[in-house]
């Protein structure tokens, strides 16, 4: 099983000791990043304080003095760095990181490592991309019992393909392999599947060892790092942006509660032109698809549901008996919390028959919502800043359209049993914005704002103050996730609240 290494990036040993104490139950190794230590602390290192630190460490330590060219903080001269390496290696480290481009100048450090039976990690860092000769270099870097390490950069998500192919070619060779940055976020979680000896993590509260690192508790808890084997099912979410998505929290917790194997990981993509090969290499069991790929994913699906056909967008990609199926769980995810709140059984035919509803917004999310409302029997007025978009959308679903402005006030009153808010006004960074500021609630409306961050928008607060029933978007997010989870795994979500 791949190990979890904690990067110790504190400015002094006391700070690093605190990180070790805090995370010791979650890690197997730690990397002392001497280049992150304050310069004033360096001269005293070889005089007992460091030996004591190493002796007290609950886990074996890697010694690293990372050069600035490799993303580190070492700003001294190279000869000074190598002399310091040579001096520190014998103090009790288990591993010493030496870059693969070092020549005879590193002989002293290499000898110190050999003499002290300290294993060398022969590392390469590439911030411009993936070196063409990555596989050959990794094989070469494994000479004399060294552990080869490559930290590469994916400048476009299509480079995930050569990265995964390199991992395949290196199968069976002991190595550390990772991709830095948000596009490489998945590689931190998939270390076991990549055949990487370890994955690097950073303290949640401190400086990151490198871009894209996660803290050990999140990796072990949320991403089930120690529970997932290389052959367990892989689920995930593709989008851009996607790393901040709350979906991994939901899906991984449900997998855990159901005691099902597998993990759900965010993949930041720049496009889906390379998606076929990506799926082939990753053998994805199920994917949530978010902005901006809900339409672009359609050509990769063998069979779409009637909902996807009407909405024109797919947010759920899953497989059954070798076929790829596409569903849109946004519509049901939107509808179910509303029916539950109104006490209407979910299996009711046309559960919103006769309900007059104002739908604020005509963007991507509005399509699924409008489909759900209209197919449930509601009569809908679509209001949008750009009236043309409201008209087009309303026209497709047999609804009415009006501008999102005070001139529609009376019309909204007519369509006010249910008001559904689907614009991004009220969501960060526009938390203070109220898309209906020209409209006064009379307390009889029910307001459903599909924004889930913040949990309560200014509009929801205003409606609640006027005595209206109010529902936020978190329930919708969770509910659409539940529909996906069931399609992915064939099992319903556990009943207790996540
Ligand atoms: P989108 O496609 O970009 O649409 C944005 C909508 O907001 C459009 O109707 C746009 O009007 C309107 N808008 C943006 N800025 C505005 C402004 N300054 N004044 C007036 N209207 C403005 O986005 P989306 O994907 O539909 O997402 C919209 C919201 O739904 C987001 O807050 C998202 O988090 C939320 N959402 C929630 C869930 C959930 O599960 N709870 C799921 C999906 C989306 P124009 O057409 O005039 O530009």
Predicted pLDDT at 211: 76
Ligand 1 centroid vs 387 CA: distance in angstroms? Answer: 14
DSSP assignment, residue 221?
A: T
Predicted pLDDT at 498: 46
Predicted pLDDT at 364: 85
Note if 294 is an active site residue: yes
Give me the mean pLDDT over the 266-290 stretch.
97
Query: Over the chain, what is the mean pLDDT?
Result: 95
Closest residue CA from atom 21 of ligand 1: 385
Give me the mean pLDDT over the 425-450 stretch.
96
Closest residue CA from atom 46 of ligand 1: 386
Predicted pLDDT at 376: 97
Closest residue CA from atom 34 of ligand 1: 451
Give me the mean pLDDT over the 383-398 stretch.
97
pLDDT above 90: residue 462: yes
Residue 480, classed as helix, strand or coil, is: helix
Tell me the Cα Rg of the chain: 27
Nearest to 201 by CA among 193, 192, 185: 185
Predicted pLDDT at 39: 82
Predicted pLDDT at 235: 98
pTM over 0.85: yes
Q: Among 250, 422, 429, 475, which is best to mutate for testing ligand 1, by the most ligand atoms less than 8 A from CB?
A: 422
Ligand 1 centroid vs 451 CA: distance in angstroms? Answer: 9
- E strand map for 69-135: 95-99, 119-125
Backbone angles phi, psi at 184, to 5 degrees: -100, 10
Ligand 1 centroid vs 384 CA: distance in angstroms? Answer: 10
pLDDT above 80: residue 43: no
Tell me the pLDDT band of 496, cut-offs 50, 70 and 90. low
Instruction: Determine if residue 186 is left, alpha or beta; phi over 0 gives left, psi from -120 to 50 gives alpha, anything else beta.
Output: alpha
Predicted pLDDT at 350: 97
Q: Which residues pair with 61 in a beta bridge?
A: 30
354-373: per-residue pLDDT in tens?
999 999 999 989 999 999 99
Say what percent of the chain tops pLDDT 70. 99
Residues with CB under 6 A from ligand 1: 291, 330, 333, 361-366, 384-386, 389, 422-425, 427, 435, 450-452, 473, 476-477, 480
Q: Among 246, 362, 365, 408, which is best to mutate for testing ligand 1, by the most ligand atoms less than 8 A from CB?
A: 365
Q: Which residues pair with 303 in a beta bridge?
A: 325
Predicted pLDDT at 4: 98
71-126: per-residue pLDDT in tens?
999 999 999 999 999 999 999 999 999 999 999 999 999 999 999 999 999 999 99
Give me the mean pLDDT over the 253-267 stretch.
97
Nearest to 361 by CA among 418, 411, 420: 420
305-334: per-residue pLDDT in tens?
999 999 999 999 999 999 999 999 999 999
Give the integer Cα–Cα distance in Å for 237 and 268. 8
Tell me the pLDDT band of 495, cut-offs 50, 70 and 90. confident
Give me the mean pLDDT over the 463-491 stretch.
97
Ligand 1 centroid vs 342 CA: distance in angstroms? Answer: 25
Question: Under a CB-based contact definition with an 8 Å cutoff, are residues 120 and 147 in contact?
Answer: yes
Q: Of the residues 3, 149, 175, 294, which is catalytic?
A: 294
More confident residue, 207 or 177: 177
Q: Among 423, 433, 439, 478, which is best to mutate for testing ligand 1, by the most ligand atoms less than 8 A from CB?
A: 423
Q: Which is the closest atom of ligand 1 to the Cα of 426? A: 32
């Amino acid at each position: 099983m791949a190990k979890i290494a904690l990067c110790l990036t504190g400015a002094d040993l006391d700070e690093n000791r605190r990180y070790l104490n805090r995370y010791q139950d979650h890690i197997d190794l730690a990397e002392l990043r001497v280049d992150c230590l304050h310069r004033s602390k360096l001269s005293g290192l070889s005089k007992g304080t460091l030996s004591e630190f190493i002796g007290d460490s609950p886990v074996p330590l890697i010694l690293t003095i990372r050069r600035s060219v490799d993303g580190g903080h070492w700003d001294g001269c190279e000869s000074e760095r190598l002399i310091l390496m040579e001096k520190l290696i014998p103090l009790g480290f288990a591993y010493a990181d030496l870059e693969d481009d070092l020549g005879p100048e590193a002989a002293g450090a290499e000898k110190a490592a050999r003499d002290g039976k300290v294993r060398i990690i022969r590392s390469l860092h590439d911030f411009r991309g993936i070196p063409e000769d990555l596989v050959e270099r990794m094989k070469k870097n494994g000479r004399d019992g060294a552990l080869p390490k490559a930290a590469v950069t994916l400048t476009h998500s299509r480079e995930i393909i050569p990265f995964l192919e390199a991992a395949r070619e290196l199968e069976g060779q002991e190595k550390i392999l990772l991709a830095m940055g948000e596009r490489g976020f998945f590689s931190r979680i998939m270390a076991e599947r990549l055949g990487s000896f370890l994955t690097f993590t950073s303290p949640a509260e401190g400086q990151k060892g490198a871009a894209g690192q996660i803290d050990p508790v999140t990796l072990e808890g949320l991403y089930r790092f120690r529970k997932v084997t290389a052959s367990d099912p892989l689920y995930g979410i593709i989008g851009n942006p996607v790393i901040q998505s709350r979906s991994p929290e939901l899906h991984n917790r449900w997998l855990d509660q159901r005691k099902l194997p597998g993990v759900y990981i965010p993949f930041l993509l720049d496009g889906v032109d390379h998606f076929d090969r990506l799926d082939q290499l990753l053998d994805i069991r199920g994917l949530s698809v978010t902005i901006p790929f809900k339409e672009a994913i359609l050509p990769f699906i063998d069979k779409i549901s009637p909902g996807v056909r009407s909405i024109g967008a797919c947010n759920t990609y899953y497989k059954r008996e070798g076929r790829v199926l596409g569903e849109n769980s946004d519509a049901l995810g939107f509808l179910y919390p509303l029916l539950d709140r109104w006490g209407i059984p979910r299996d009711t035919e046309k559960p919103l028959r006769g309900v007059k509803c104002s739908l604020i917004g005509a963007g991507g999310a509005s399509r699924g919502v409008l489909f759900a409302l209209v197919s449930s029997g509601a009569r809908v007025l679509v209001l949008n800043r750009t009236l043309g978009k409201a008209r087009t959308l309303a026209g497709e679903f047999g609804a009415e359209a009006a501008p999102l402005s005070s001139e529609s006030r009376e019309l909204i009153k007519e369509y006010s049993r249910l008001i559904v808010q689907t614009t991004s006004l009220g969501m960060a960074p526009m938390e203070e914005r109220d898309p209906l500021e020209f409209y006064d609630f009379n307390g009889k409306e029910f307001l459903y704002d599909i924004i889930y961050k913040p949990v309560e928008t200014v509009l929801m607060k205003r409606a609640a103050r006027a005595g209206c029933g109010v529902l936020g978007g978190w329930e919708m997010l969770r509910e659409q996730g539940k529909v996906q989870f069931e399609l992915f795994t064939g099992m319903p979500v556990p009943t207790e609240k996540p």
